[in-house]
């Protein structure tokens, strides 16, 4: 339990309690995974931001994409049960790309954040996905399913695409 320190105002104690709870809750409702690729960071960035490459490793239904904050992904998924409703939320050229992850007609939205790190001759890619508990309590939206998905998308598909040349 958070205690009042010295003459700390009550509001500060409440704020600290809130931050501690947010931090502990976010650990339960988000995920983080890291992958190492034997290519320079530029190749990873290009694969994360080029629509043609994204169709290969991420989603074949992707119609159009631009790494511009506010850009709404375009998908050919009109007949799909889970239609994506994604918008780019952050772009730091060469190092960070983020977008929301939501489905039309379903409650909930998370943010997917890709961070790229140079590690000598290799590149480390970290993916974080937040607010998983905002989705319905259904196996399609489970943390385990998202983890499995990232292992396939980034650990297999992306790795094969960028390391096969």
In tens, the pLDDT along 79-101 reads 888 899 999 999 999 999 999 99
Instruction: State residue 7's pLDDT score.
Output: 52
d(CA 32, CA 131): 12
Instruction: State residue 20's pLDDT score.
Output: 39
For tokens 């694969």, the residue is: 47
Instruction: State residue 81's pLDDT score.
Output: 86
Identify the helix (H) or strand (E) that includes residue 29.
helix 10-29
pLDDT tens per residue across all 165 residues of the chain: 444 445 544 444 444 344 434 443 444 589 999 999 999 999 999 999 999 999 999 999 999 999 999 999 999 987 888 899 999 999 999 999 999 999 999 999 999 999 999 999 999 999 999 999 999 999 999 999 999 999 999 999 999 999 996
Instruction: State residue 28's pLDDT score.
Output: 54
| Residue 163: closest CA among 37, 35, 47, 41 | 37
Half-sphere exposure of 96 (CA within 13 A, CB side): 10
3-state helix, strand, coil in the chain (%, to 5): 40, 30, 35
113: helix, strand or coil: strand
């Amino acid at each position: 339990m958070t205690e009042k320190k010295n003459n700390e105002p009550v509001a500060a104690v409440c704020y600290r309690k809130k931050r501690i709870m947010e931090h502990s809750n976010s650990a339960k409702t988000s995920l983080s995974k890291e992958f190492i690729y034997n290519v320079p960071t530029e190749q990873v960035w290009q694969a994360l931001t080029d629509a043609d490459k994204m169709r290969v490793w991420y989603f074949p239904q992707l119609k159009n994409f631009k790494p511009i904050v506010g850009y709404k992904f375009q998908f050919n998924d009109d007949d799909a049960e889970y239609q994506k409703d994604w918008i780019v939320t952050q772009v730091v050229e060469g190092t960070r790309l983020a977008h929301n992850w939501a489905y039309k007609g379903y409650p909930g939205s998370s943010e997917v954040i890709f961070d790229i790190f140079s590690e000598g001759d290799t590149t480390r890619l970290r993916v974080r996905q937040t607010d998983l508990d905002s989705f319905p309590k259904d196996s399609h939206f489970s943390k385990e399913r998202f983890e499995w998905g990232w292992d396939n998308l980034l650990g297999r598909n992306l790795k094969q695409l960028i390391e096969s040349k």
